[in-house]
Amino acid sequence: IQEFVGCPNRSKATQQRIENAAKDTALIPLLDRPVGDTKATEIFEVIRNGGVATNVFLRRFHNFAMELGWLHKAILTKSYWPKVVYSPKVAITADQHKAIIQREANLERRAYYQLCWFIGGSNSDMALLRAENIDWERRTVTFIRKKTKATCHQAFGSECADILRTLPSNGPLFPYLATVRESDRATEFKQRCEGLGIEGVTLHSYRYAWAERAAIAGMPERFAQAALGHGSKAVHRAYARGAELHVPSLEEMTEARRQAIEKARIEE
């Protein structure tokens, strides 16, 4: 595992995730076992006792051992690895967000949650935003995602602008939150949800909510991808699959077009 963590092509954030994954108690039965002596039945047992991350990272550890030649052949071939089953992705609702904001007494944290709602950024990306990321002339927020290094461009409206004006005009927008660990920000948010009886929602739920709202509003997918920093349509569709779209009838579309043409004619 230490060899896996120490690969030079891994970012610091990825190394941290791997180190955290190595602390998974479900992996304990394998930690003192020589890699070459590990049996398929032991892997099945560990995955049964663990969670999604156990399956994902154990598979990555196995593939890394294959690449380095520590294993002469796979313990489990790709088709025999247990399927990774993720829990349903839950978007935070407008009512839940409103309840959290109304109860939050800390001004910096309240503004942070509000910006997550308007921009849909991830935990760290929002906390690490700086005043320099804001272009007031074009009314856009631009930043590079910490996880994927993808560039996000997002325009903001008047409500979001009101929030941004309350934040520092130079340096970090969230001076305190930028200094704490990602896990601590997540824990603080979880505590607030628990206090309000809100279940199944995390800070990442703001990203799902933004994508769903964008889909409902009819935003072109390429624009939503640019805003969220997704490089894959498949990834974006996974975020937006909870959106309940109203598909208008052909009659509605035709009437809307007729009214638009009539309005344009009158204005001329």
Over the chain, what is the mean pLDDT? Answer: 86
Contact partners, residue 179, CB within 8 Å, separation at least 6? none
Residue 25 in tokens: 């108690």
Rounded to an integer, the average pLDDT of 129-156 is: 89
Give the list of residues 6+ apart from residue 193 with CB closer than 8 angstroms, or none: 96, 100, 199, 201
Identify the DSSP state of 92. P
Q: How does pLDDT run across 158-213, given as a tens digit for each residue?
A: 999 999 999 999 999 999 999 998 889 999 999 999 999 999 999 999 999 998 88
Backbone angles phi, psi at 92, to 5 degrees: -75, 140
Q: Which residues contact 12 (CB under 8 A, 6 or more apart)?
A: none
Mean pLDDT lowest for which of 12-16, 21-25, 263-267? 12-16
| Amino acid identity, position 83 | K
pLDDT digits (tens, 9 = 90+) for 218-243: 888 888 888 888 776 656 766 667 77
55-99 residue pLDDT tens:
888 888 888 888 888 888 899 888 888 888 777 778 999 999 999
Binned at pLDDT 50, 70 and 90, residue 252 comes out as: confident
In angstroms, the CA 126 to CA 122 distance is 6
Residue 10 pLDDT: 63
Using CA atoms, how far residue 154 sits from 30, 44, 99, 145, 168, in Å, is 45, 44, 25, 13, 19
Cα 128 to Cα 143: distance, rounded to the nearest angstrom: 10
The DSSP 8-state label assigned to residue 79 in this structure reads G
Other residues' Cβ atoms within 10 Å of the Cβ of residue 1: 16
Share of the chain above pLDDT 70, in %: 91
Q: What token pair was written down for 151?
A: 């560039």
* Percent of the chain clearing pLDDT 90 (strictly above): 36
Q: Where do the DSSP E strands lie in the chain? A: 134-135, 140-144, 151-155
6-13: long-range contacts, CB 8 A cutoff, minimum separation 24 = 13/146, 13/147
